[in-house]
Amino acid sequence: MRQSTLLLPTLKENPADADVISHRLMLRAGLIRQLASGLYTWLPLGLRVLRKIETIIREEMNISGAQEVLMPVVQPAELWQESGRWQKMGDEMLRMQDRHERDFCLGPTHEEVITDIFRREIHSYKQLPINFYQIQTKFRDERRPRFGVMRAREFMMKDAYSFHLDQASFDATYQEMYDCYSRILTRMQLTFRPVQADTGNIGGDNSHEFHVLASSGEDTIAYAAGGTYAANLEKATALAPSSAPAPAEDLERIDTPNEKTIDAISKRLNLPANRCVKTLVVKGNEGPVAIILRGDHELNEIKAAKLPNIVAPLTFADEKEIVASMGAHPGSLGPVNCKIDYLVDRDAAALADFVCGANEDAVHFTGANWHRDCALEDKQIVDARNVVEGDTAPDGKGTIEFLRGIEVGHIFQLDKAYSEPLEASVLDKEGTSQIPIMGCYGMGVTRLVAAVIEQNHDEDGILWPQPLTPYDLHIVALNPQKSTAVREAAEKLYADAIAAGLEVLLDDRDERPGVKFADADLIGIHQRLVVGDRGLKNDVVEYKLRHEASATEVSLVNVIDEVTAKLK
């Protein structure tokens, strides 16, 4: 490809509304352009990278034994009514009507459609297990589209769905997908981490997210330094503390007219926050429920929403409800004389002689103890907090530390969440009808492009890893309009490289060398040749890998062989 004819609109300045580096560089390097919020056009250079990622994913999915299909973007409402998700999906699902006023949506995901295919086409246990995948456009009307293609409204996903007669078969495919995802991200030369993840309302332990590590990542990953544990903060748990020591203090009432926060009360009493407890009130199925945490800990809303009798998604009680049910305002609440059901986080339950609100405005207790003063029962003790750095991992091996991650993949067990309501079934060996269990495996194809850039850039631009570089080779001709020697040598190298099977971009533009170098660094093609008059006098060109600091001189005769060797 000749750069003089390629649509490659590079920008010198940082676009104003791009907050993360990958978004800035994708705009500046002319990979994408925004059409409207969360909607992007892929320009030629960006599309080449996207296609390379798709190819790697497709090759590895095929190796894993999955079968490629392509399902419609537009899906009829009836299918979503059958699964019960037409109502449940909320505003992320874009709905519309056709000319006959029938309801449709733009597919945010494809469980319903694939299960429909399954129930129509698959009838025997002999056809199982089976794993279908597609690489296709999704539409989700995200509340806050941001970071360019990282959280877009229209984006490309590789989604796969597997069907099984029994758990052992599911487990084998799940492991196969886990390995497949690891191979894909390794081939893309990404630094990544699989972590245990929340399963939403499906439950079970079979859920892993694959995170590309980057400071711009939206997720916090808790991993054990010196151990193997790793989980999304949403799901992460620490080693359970030992039980509370015996009481040493008496329960004492103190007036606290100005102390409504943990900070204020701990200052006033000169006690650390971890000797106080805080009381939050949330909605439960049978009225409000209090959740009590150690003063220095934060509630984990995902974990809390899964506790018995708690309304999901977690919803906090408003002040009126709190006063009506507890008899006091927030800031003076606590477990002693608590009039509603309450749950206590394990670490709060391990305290003795703690400070808490007295359920009476402007009054606290010191020296509180669970069994003596609150009659706490074991069934009220739960895990409801975010882990913090320094916690011991749940298996006792290593200390929790945090990293930021970009979620690029998620694999999990669906069980019968779709096969049951959609009445998918097969006949087993005995001729009995069986509902298959399902697995689901998503990967963010467009998001991956941004994730790669987050990990591969410097102040001048992108550093494409060799397997993803939009062109194998960038030939930069210096002043070709002035020098016949340069023009001819560059043209010959270009022709030879194409003949050798390389994908080549030739910068044949009539631009100053400075502009050409800046653009070359910005678009970040992995291998670069610079053809200039000075080198040609000695029959050499400058050869440089984008991530290396300095160039070497390579003889004109050998250079295409050398470039080709790098690709092997």
Which residues here bind ligand ATP, judged by CB under 6 A?
Answer: 109, 140, 142, 151-152, 155, 157, 407-410, 442-444, 446-447
CB of 385 to ligand ATP, least distance (A): 21
Ramachandran bin of 290, using left for φ above 0, alpha for ψ from -120 to 50, beta for the remaining angles:
beta
CB of 219 to ligand ATP, least distance (A): 8
Nearer CB in complex with ligand ATP: 17/561: 17
CA distance 223 to 400: 5
CA distance 177 to 441: 7
CA distance 10 to 359: 63
Nearer CB in complex with ligand ATP: 394/409: 409
* Amino acid letter for position 149: V
The H or E element containing residue 426 is strand 426-427
Nearer CB in complex with ligand ATP: 140/278: 140
CB of 150 to ligand ATP, least distance (A): 6
For residue 538, the Cα-to-chain-centroid distance in whole angstroms is 51
For residue 499, the Cα-to-chain-centroid distance in whole angstroms is 41
Nearer CB in complex with ligand ATP: 407/454: 407
Neighbour tally for 552: CB within 10 Å: 12
CB of 77 to ligand ATP, least distance (A): 20
Nearer CB in complex with ligand ATP: 193/268: 193
Judge contact between 133 and 445, C-beta under 8 A.
no
CB of 14 to ligand ATP, least distance (A): 22
Nearer CB in complex with ligand ATP: 138/297: 138
Nearest residue relative to ligand ATP (C-beta)? 444
Helix axes 44-63, 445-455, angle to 10 degrees: 110
Which stretches within 339-444 are classed as H helix?
A: 346-349
CB of 117 to ligand ATP, least distance (A): 19
Helix axes 44-63, 167-187, angle to 10 degrees: 140
Nearer CB in complex with ligand ATP: 156/556: 156
Nearer CB in complex with ligand ATP: 35/264: 35
CB of 148 to ligand ATP, least distance (A): 9
CB of 210 to ligand ATP, least distance (A): 8
CB of 556 to ligand ATP, least distance (A): 45
The residue assigned the tokens 């796969």 is 160
Judge contact between 101 and 109, C-beta under 8 A.
no
Burial class (CB in 10 A: 0-12, 13-18, 19+), 417: buried
Instruction: For strands 433-434 and 426-427, give the pairing.
Output: antiparallel
**Considering only CA atoms, which of 177, 152, 174 is closest in space to residue 50?**
152
Nearer CB in complex with ligand ATP: 347/407: 407
CB of 94 to ligand ATP, least distance (A): 13
Give the N- to C-terminal CA distance of the chain in Å, as an integer: 22
Nearer CB in complex with ligand ATP: 110/346: 110
Instruction: For strands 342-345 and 287-294, give the pairing.
Output: parallel
Judge contact between 434 and 119, C-beta under 8 A.
no
